[in-house]
Chain A
Amino acid sequence: MSAKVKLATVWLGGCSGCHMSFLDLDERLIELAAKVELCLSPLVDTKFKDFPDVDVTLVEGAVANVEHVEMLHTIRARSKLVIAFGDCAVSGNITAMRNTFTVDEVMNRAYRETVAVVKGVPVGDDLVPKLLAKVKPLHELVTIDHYLQGCPPSADRIWELVTALLDGRAPKLERRFG
């Protein structure tokens, strides 16, 4: 038997809804587990400290901070196929709605104008990655191999894409946008 396909899923600037939809694969996850090795994912413990070399990476979320930029370039370098997983990854979607405001306005709204335990914008340390001036969809930074639309994409669409990639055929997905 040939080696299992190496799969990773990553959560950048998104709400984790796409990953929840991935979990909605339900009993199909067992079938999937027989075919792939889930190397890295926010859903599982991992033996990898660094991002491993994989066959396919599903990337949820848009690129919103400096850490996401670095991560995305690492993912691209170490993945054979990179999938824009859900609308935030594809278009920026909700995450990019802050782009009509400046980062200062966003930070003030989040930390000064609303109820907070500690008043004031957190600055001066490297604990929290710095926000980019504008949130970007993945393809503005790296080459993307497949785009999976949906907020979130339904489990059926995820299944069709993943099984198509495993079978080495073109996915038969109903055309949709947003």
Chain B
Amino acid sequence: MSVKTLTIDGKMMTGVEGDTVFTVAFHNQVQIPRLCHLGGIPDVGACRMCLVEVEGRSKLSASCMTTIEEGMVVRTDTETLREYRKLLMELLLAEGNHVCSVCVSNGNCELQALAAYLGVDHVRVPYRHPRREVDLSHERFGLDHNRCIACTRCVRTCDEVEGAHVWDMAGRGEKLHLVADLGEPWGDSENCTKCGKCVQVCPTGALFTKGSAVGEMEKDRSFLKYIVYGRERHQWVKKP
């Protein structure tokens, strides 16, 4: 394992070969906005929120998918990046039907919080208002496709952590959507263990516990931290 040194936002930082720019920045208290990244599961670069400028590269790079290189110079917070992130957020908000006022996750939503953080006060592109379904076939949980941003945290968590691989993405472009097993109603999935990890990692109100009313769905990600750090620290029993 070789150590690499790079500059992020004017500060010298070091990481191990194979580390991503996002991870090194994170461990050095540089918070890069993100939606699809979740510590403990593999990155896919789906949301593009963590775009950064790398000196010598003409294109912007998703920091969660960019491995560090010796002497790399990275900027995570410039006027260009702020404007791109803002527009990305507006595109996400216009793409689905994110009506915060009637959402189970209103007030506890990563999409909503990031929109506010990025200074989005209105959406400059026309809203699409696609017709999407709500799957309430599962006995414990619900899936509201209107609020899905296709970050695939649920897909990766179910696969990598629970080992059940219930979720996948189907379709392309505007038809891209989440499917359980081979496209069955969630309640008919034979692989689903009903553990609810997908619900807890979902950044929006797309996956929720049945019976939650507006603003009542608060996600708990502590189990993931426990899985990640528990192994490192040999804590085999979860402490409350």
- Give me the interface of A with B, judged by CB distance under 8 Å: 84, 87, 90-94, 96-97, 99-101, 134, 137, 139-140, 144, 147, 149, 151, 175-178
Check A151–B126 contact: CB distance below 8 A: no
Contact partners of A144 in chain B: CB under 8 A: 122
A101's nearest neighbour on chain B, judged by CB, is B131
Given contacts A99-B129, A151-B100, 19 further A-B contacts (CB under 8 A): A90-B122, A92-B127, A93-B99, A93-B101, A94-B99, A94-B101, A96-B127, A96-B129, A97-B97, A97-B99, A97-B102, A99-B127, A100-B129, A100-B130, A100-B131, A100-B132, A147-B122, A178-B101, A178-B106
Interface residues, chain B, with chain A CB atoms under 8 Å away:
93, 97-103, 106, 112, 115-117, 119-124, 126-127, 129-132
The 10 closest A-B pairs by CB, nearest first: A178-B100, A151-B101, A99-B129, A177-B115, A147-B121, A175-B116, A100-B131, A177-B116, A176-B116, A147-B122
In the complex, which of the residues B98, B103, B112, B116 has the most CB atoms of chain A within 10 Å of its own CB atom? B116
30 A-B contact pairs sorted by A residue (CB < 8 Å) = A84-B122, A87-B101, A90-B122, A91-B122, A93-B99, A94-B101, A94-B102, A96-B99, A96-B127, A97-B102, A99-B129, A100-B130, A100-B132, A101-B131, A137-B123, A139-B124, A144-B122, A147-B121, A147-B122, A149-B121, A175-B116, A175-B117, A175-B119, A176-B116, A177-B100, A177-B112, A177-B115, A177-B116, A178-B101, A178-B106
